[in-house]
Every structure is written in structure tokens, then in C-alpha cells.
Structure 1
Amino acid sequence: MSCRFVLLIAAIYFDNPGFGMLAGFAALLLIAGSALAQQKPCEVCVKVLTDAMAKVPEAEKSKPDSITKVIREHCKDTRNKDHKFCFYIGALPESATSIMVDVSKPLSWSMPPEKVCEKLKAKDAQICELKYGRFSYS
């Protein structure tokens, strides 16, 4: 925040305390809004799919079955939010349902993980509700 802005708010406050409080509240909303804008959409989904795709051999990247196999293998070692994401998409043996076809086919077409996650969100909103905390240990 610039020094001029703070001085302007202070001057307004002392001239009209009611308006100064309103301006302070507006500044607080601006700061909070910028913090929310910095959060990445579907960050857990994007990270897990990006990490898994990095493990797929180049010759196998166009084969959905190979991608599914690598994602399932990758998910065996996940924890916390990543593990929960793997559960949601059905990449774990204990998952109740599976949408792995909706994950692996678009990835085999070279669709970026961000776009795949956006499409998965339409099927299951929980997928994009997963967020890492300030520190990620997964």
C-alpha cells in the first residue's frame, strides 16, 4: 500500500470519521480480494496430474491406459490432499467410483492438466475445492 494512500485515508478520517471507516473497510476488502485472487484454481488437481504426467514415458503419453496405470501408481505414494484427490478420481483401490477415463483420455490428447481439472470440476466440484494450506507436506 502506498504512503500517499494511507495519508489520504488518515486525512479523510480526521475530517469525517464515518467516511474514514468506510474507506478503511474498502481498503480491507481490496487486500482480501487480492489474497483470494492469488489462490490457484484446482491447485491440488493440477499438481497431482502434472507430477503424474512427468512420470509417463514419452512414447506412452498418447495412450490412455498407460496414463491411467502411471496415475494409479503415482497415487499409491500420495498423502494428505493429494491422496484425497486420488480417492476422488478413483485412482485408489478403496475409491468407490472412478472417473479415470475422464482424466486419462484428455491427457492422452495433450490437454493441459489445468484444462482437464476444469472439466473434472463439472463432474465433481470436490476436486477443485481441495486446496493446499500455507505449507504443503504432500
Structure 2
Amino acid sequence: MIVTVIGLLRFGVSLVFGITVSVLFARIEPTRKNRLVTILLCVIFLFVQTTSWWLWGLDLTSKLYPLITHLPLIVIFYFYYKRPLLISAVSMLSGYLCCQAPRWFGFLAGTALGSRLADHIFYIAFVFLAYYFLKRYVAGSVRQLMEKFIFQATT
């Protein structure tokens, strides 16, 4: 039971991490309004994913994930935040890619300790460390690179 509950928590933490990293990379200004919209997006996406999971199961929800999370996030970045389409897409894809390092860390810890619970706990802990590292040391460089190369590609 505890493994299931922590696993669901992991699912939510992963979604929030992916969205917030995507927001960092898309150079969305951290105003009060934008923070509230980001929180609202996290809640809406969690609701949509949970509803999909209840209606169609985890397997189909996993297959629909790009359509119910990634694509809408790109559209929101483009239309609501007025970010260029390429920056919106690359930001979301980069945020998704950043979710893999915590996954590997959790997997290694879970395998070493022989515990699915350890996998979940180490994943969640590493998400917080990864977010700090990405925000402090990586996001600025990623934004500059994206804007430079996307600007060059469109001119």
C-alpha cells in the first residue's frame, strides 16, 4: 500500500518537475501571475492524467501522455505566454529529458537496495536536487542557446 501511495506521489512530482523545468527553459518571467498559472497548469494536468488513468488505465494513459500533457504544454507556451513555437517545443522536450536523470538515479538506488519503495523515494529526492541544479546552473545557458540558435534558424 505504501509503495502505491509513494508511487502516485512520484507520478505527481514528476509532472510538476517537468512543467516547472520547461517553464524555466522557455524563459517565462517568474511574475506572481505566471507562477499562479503554472500552479494551475500543474493541477489541471494532474487532474487530466488522473482521470485518464481511472477511465482507461495506466497503460493507455502512458501512451496518451504526449497528447494530454506535452502537446497542450507547447500550445500553452505558444499562445498564452507568447513564446516562439520552436522555443515552446524545445523547452518542453528539454524539460521531459531532464526527467530522465532522476529516473535513472531512482532506478539505480532501487536496484541496489532491492526495493521499489527505495526507487520512488530516491527519485523524489533527486528531483528536488535536480531542480535546484537546473535552476541555478543550467537554465540561463539553455535559454541563451535556444534563443540564439532559434533566432539564427529563423533569419
- TM-score, reference length from structure 2: 0.29
Compare the two structures and name the one with the higher helix fraction.
2
Q: Which has the higher contact order (CA 8 A, sep 6+)?
A: 2
- TM-score, reference length from structure 1: 0.31
- Structure having the higher Rg: 1
